[in-house]
A and B are shown apart, each in its own frame.
Chain A
Amino acid sequence: MSKYKVNLKINNIPVSVDEGTSILEAARTLNFTIPTLCHHDDLCVAGNCRVCVVEQKGNRVLPAACATPVSEGMEIMTNSLKVRQARKHVVELLLSEHNADCTKCFKNGSCELQDMSNDYRIGDHVFLDLVKDRERVKDISSPSIEKDDSKCIRCQRCVRTCADLQAVSALAVTHKGNEMKISTFLDKPMNDVVCTNCGQCINRCPTAALTERNYIDEVFDAIYDPKKFVVVQTAPATRVAIGEEFGMKPGTRVTGKMVTALRRLGFDKVLDTDFTADLTIMEEGTELLTRLKEALVEGKEVALPMLTSCSPGWIKFQEHLYPEFLDNLSTCKSPQQMFGPLAKTYYAEKVNKNPADMVVVSIMPCTAKKFEAERPEMRGSGYKDVDYVLTTRELGMMIHQAGIDFQKLEDERYDNILGESTGAAVIFGTTGGVMEAALRTAYEIVTGKEVPFTNLNIKPVRGMEGIKEASVKIKDVKPEWSFLEGVELNVAIAHGLANAKVVMDKIKDGSANYHFVEVMGCPSGCIGGGGQPMPTNMEIRKQRAAGIYEEDEGLTIRKSHENPEVQEIYQSFLHEPLGHRSHDLLHTHYVPRKRH
């Protein structure tokens, strides 16, 4: 930021802000909220919706507050008569082209456009009703994303998200004039284009034009079916975010309340994806060490760097855009998909249930997990391993529907087995977490000692920079790992697919020399997932990340290999990481997809 200060007045109150600040940001410092639609804190300026117009003394036109930088001596009115009139007209015009059937809309009660028309009490039809897409059927081709053009106000937040944050550009502005819309290549259905199902566009869409496919009714049906044994698993990032659906602060840790709520909703067993996150570390850590051994000792051609594989949006991104690097992806399934087959084999046997009668539901911060569960590879148990995937938001809706007063719930504990986890698993929820968890375990396997960081906190891999790089020198190894003595393990961490693309291009052109790379498809990792509560911005994601690290520090066991249930499952069922059973149930393969 520039050090020059600019002095101006907003609603007659003097304020001094950095040069380059927008009127919108300057007004915020004085606690004036200017309404916005196309503006989003995570995205570049668009300035196309005009709801943020303000009056500037001496200026005949009303500048857009989001797109206009402050200047010396400026006098701004954010709520003059002229402004109110203009703003109201803008909203009325938007609504004249909007299929405003709020009472039947998925976003009813959580919609920015609705809030705005609510604030301004838009009552009458001032302008002609020009909704032309009302009859158009929604695109529900994708198992993750629904697209309803009749709800679109063309603010282009989705387009900027998909291009700038995700480097995918599955969505673009197409056609022109009154035909202009947000569409895909050749207007193809969403399941037939490069879309990674990450849901980042959903997180930023101010209306119901982009939403997740919801499976709430299907899950309630299963719960009320007496023949079904319904188990639920919860991803790490859900426990620091679900509270937001009930007015709690982002990052509030509500693990125990969430468990209680799930039990009250009627799930037969409440289990934890964190357990399989620990298992992922065992499998993936061993896979990394095996690859290193093959490369360094046996001189084999091994695909390095190894890339993490827990983020299904990232997987699909690779399949479309870097198919030549599919061998670099770890073969480990994501924790969600490790949980499914174990629930329907190992666990079913333990609790004496027929897997055919079991329904596995997951609560995920993610929309891509819905797609992942549908992949034909994900039937290791002989059944569909994970039956339904709900987002954190959908769980919030279920709890609301069931009339459960979430804030007042007591804390309860996960059922066992498949309910025990460690701090290493919890941190999977934020960028850098998988790397940190893997290092905690791999370093100890190789050296017999804990990672050389205070209190196990590997600070260099934490934080919100888009790409983090770190090196860990491996010293005093155990004899069987002598080939790693003195090796500098180079790792990188990227979150958000645009950052992942930068890392991949470096790997591709040979300018990076990594051994292991963690990629999470969503900005900030799963805590910023496409299925998390809205709104989202960097501040909110930082608070959720802080919640994750607190949860980690609060647990007695913080290393995956020390999880007693993990030790037990290797003893009695899996026998060893990368073993026969693991291969059948916990590992997978990837398919190259077309580039468009």
Chain B
Amino acid sequence: MTRIEEFVKEQAEKHGRDRNSLMPILQAVVQSERFLSEEAMVAVATELDLSTADVFGTATFYTFMDTFPRGKNIIRICKTITCHMKGKDAIVDTLEDMLKIKLGQTTTDGKFSLLQANCLGWCHKGPVMLINDEVYPEITPEKAVEVVSKYLKKG
């Protein structure tokens, strides 16, 4: 058994093996591995006797369940209507310029991925940016650069 298979098995023991356990198990894998690798999805499907396509289908429904590796820091900009109207496009443009990547891409040094997210629940303080688990409400292009620079220094 590989390390991932072992981990998935533990999770299945903990959460159970019926279909309802799919989400908590996937979440646990993402928490620990940061994304769902092919190997991890196969392991989950095998443990729960589901098809891999089913597991993949579930994972791709959720923005926060990546099915391929991302950068060390994941920047997400809310794309829903309120943040859109409050100027999220300017934030995206600025960060694309700063990091020299397009939306959806990861910097070559693997430090940052720039993504959009569905509503983050901060409509009253949009536009909102999320870096890893940290929320940055009412963000401006200037502030965005400042915050990202800090992460850049941290490495």
Main secondary structure of the interface of A (DSSP, over half): loop
Are B53 and A170 interface neighbours, CB within 8 A? yes
Q: Does residue A459 face the partner (Cβ distance < 8 Å to B)?
A: no
Q: Does residue B45 face the partner (Cβ distance < 8 Å to A)?
A: yes
Known: A168-B51, A169-B50, A169-B51. A174 touches B45 (CB 8 A): no
**Which residues of A from 187 to 206 have beta carbons under 8 Å from B?**
193-194
Known: A169-B50, A186-B67. A596 touches B57 (CB 8 A): no
Q: Does residue A524 face the partner (Cβ distance < 8 Å to B)?
A: no
CA distance A194 to B50 in the complex (A): 12
Q: Does residue B60 face the partner (Cβ distance < 8 Å to A)?
A: yes
CA distance A194 to B54 in the complex (A): 12
Q: Does residue B82 face the partner (Cβ distance < 8 Å to A)?
A: no
Are B57 and A173 interface neighbours, CB within 8 A? yes
Most chain B beta-carbon contacts within 10 A, residue among A168, A169, A194, A595 = A169
Q: Does residue A185 face the partner (Cβ distance < 8 Å to B)?
A: yes
Q: Does residue A26 face the partner (Cβ distance < 8 Å to B)?
A: no
- With a cutoff of 8 Å between Cβ atoms, the chain B residues found around residue A173 in the complex are 57
Q: Does residue B38 face the partner (Cβ distance < 8 Å to A)?
A: yes
Are A595 and B45 interface neighbours, CB within 8 A? yes
Contact partner, B56, options A174, A194, A595, Cβ 8 Å? A174
Are B60 and A175 interface neighbours, CB within 8 A? yes
- With a cutoff of 8 Å between Cβ atoms, the chain B residues found around residue A184 in the complex are 53, 56
Q: Does residue A104 face the partner (Cβ distance < 8 Å to B)?
A: no
| Residue in chain B with minimal CB distance to A184 | B53
CA distance A186 to B61 in the complex (A): 13
Q: Does residue A537 face the partner (Cβ distance < 8 Å to B)?
A: no
**Which residues of B from 40 to 71 have beta carbons under 8 Å from A?**
41-42, 45-46, 50-57, 60-62, 67
**Which residues of A from 162 to 176 have beta carbons under 8 Å from B?**
163, 168-176
Interface size on A, residues (CB 8 A): 18
Are B51 and A170 interface neighbours, CB within 8 A? yes
Contact partner, B53, options A171, A175, A176, Cβ 8 Å? A171
- With a cutoff of 8 Å between Cβ atoms, the chain A residues found around residue B56 in the complex are 172, 174, 183-186
Are B51 and A176 interface neighbours, CB within 8 A? no
- With a cutoff of 8 Å between Cβ atoms, the chain A residues found around residue B38 in the complex are 186
Main secondary structure of the interface of B (DSSP, over half): helix
Counted as pairs of residues, one from A and one from B, with CB atoms less than 8 Å apart, the total is 55
- With a cutoff of 8 Å between Cβ atoms, the chain B residues found around residue A596 in the complex are 42, 45, 51-52
CA distance A222 to B52 in the complex (A): 41
Are A175 and B61 interface neighbours, CB within 8 A? yes
**Which residues of B from 124 to 149 have beta carbons under 8 Å from A?**
none
- With a cutoff of 8 Å between Cβ atoms, the chain A residues found around residue B45 in the complex are 595-596
- The smallest beta-carbon distance between A200 and chain B, in angstroms, is 15
CA distance A173 to B50 in the complex (A): 14
- The smallest beta-carbon distance between B54 and chain A, in angstroms, is 5
**Which residues of A from 569 to 596 have beta carbons under 8 Å from B?**
595-596
- The smallest beta-carbon distance between B30 and chain A, in angstroms, is 16
Are A185 and B60 interface neighbours, CB within 8 A? no
- With a cutoff of 8 Å between Cβ atoms, the chain A residues found around residue B46 in the complex are 595
Are A595 and B42 interface neighbours, CB within 8 A? yes
| Residue in chain B with minimal CB distance to A193 | B53
- With a cutoff of 8 Å between Cβ atoms, the chain A residues found around residue B60 in the complex are 174-176
0 or 1 for each of B11-43: is its CB under 8 Å from A? (1 = yes)? 000000000000000000000000000100110
**Which residues of A from 315 to 353 have beta carbons under 8 Å from B?**
none
CA distance A140 to B48 in the complex (A): 31
CA distance A174 to B54 in the complex (A): 8
Are B41 and A185 interface neighbours, CB within 8 A? yes
Most chain A beta-carbon contacts within 10 A, residue among B52, B53, B55 = B53
Are A172 and B42 interface neighbours, CB within 8 A? no
Q: Which 9 A/B pairs are nearest by Cβ-Cβ distance?
A: A169-B51, A172-B57, A596-B52, A185-B52, A172-B53, A174-B57, A185-B53, A174-B60, A175-B60
Sample (16) of A-B pairs whose CB atoms are under 8 Å apart: A168-B51, A169-B54, A170-B53, A171-B53, A174-B53, A174-B57, A176-B61, A183-B53, A185-B41, A185-B51, A185-B52, A185-B56, A186-B38, A595-B52, A596-B51, A596-B52
Given A169-B54, A174-B57, A184-B53, 20 more pairs with CB closer than 8 A = A163-B51, A169-B50, A170-B53, A172-B53, A172-B54, A172-B56, A172-B57, A174-B53, A174-B56, A175-B60, A175-B61, A176-B60, A185-B53, A186-B38, A186-B52, A186-B56, A186-B67, A193-B52, A194-B51, A194-B52
